[in-house]
Structure 1
Amino acid sequence: MSDIADFANDLVQERIDQALAARKIAPVRHSFLYCDGCNVPIPSERRLAVQGCTHCVACQRIEEARDARHAR
């Protein structure tokens, strides 16, 4: 006999499966050619590795540090 924990677990697993399926069919996001922060060209290796990137590595580090500081 299943209980509420089993039902909740099944529901969570179903949502995870749906999210993964949606992610697989989502369109590929293209990266910017130039950094949003400093307007320097983003290397093609980074654009391929991090699809949808909008910042160069240096500006991304600054953004992440700023986000971490505001999260406190």
Structure 2
Amino acid sequence: MADECDFATDMQLKAADAFAASRLSRLALLPLAISADVCECGTPIPAARRVAVPGVTLCTFCQANAERRGVIHGRA
């Protein structure tokens, strides 16, 4: 049986997904050259992070959310 914590976690994840989706729709409007330096949430990826993690496509906030949801490890 689900308790309040499970309910709150589900609500948080739904809110985060909705936020990311809204930012992702705005990202589609950016030119390709700019979007390489911008996370899917629409925030710029800091140059230091891009140097430290070559090929990075997520900011630290989105990376943490993706790992928490298991997206990075093949779980959806």
Range into which the TM-score falls when normalised by the shorter chain: 0.3 to 0.5
Relative to the length of structure 1, the TM-score reads 0.47
TM-score by length of structure 2 reads: 0.45
Larger Rg: 1
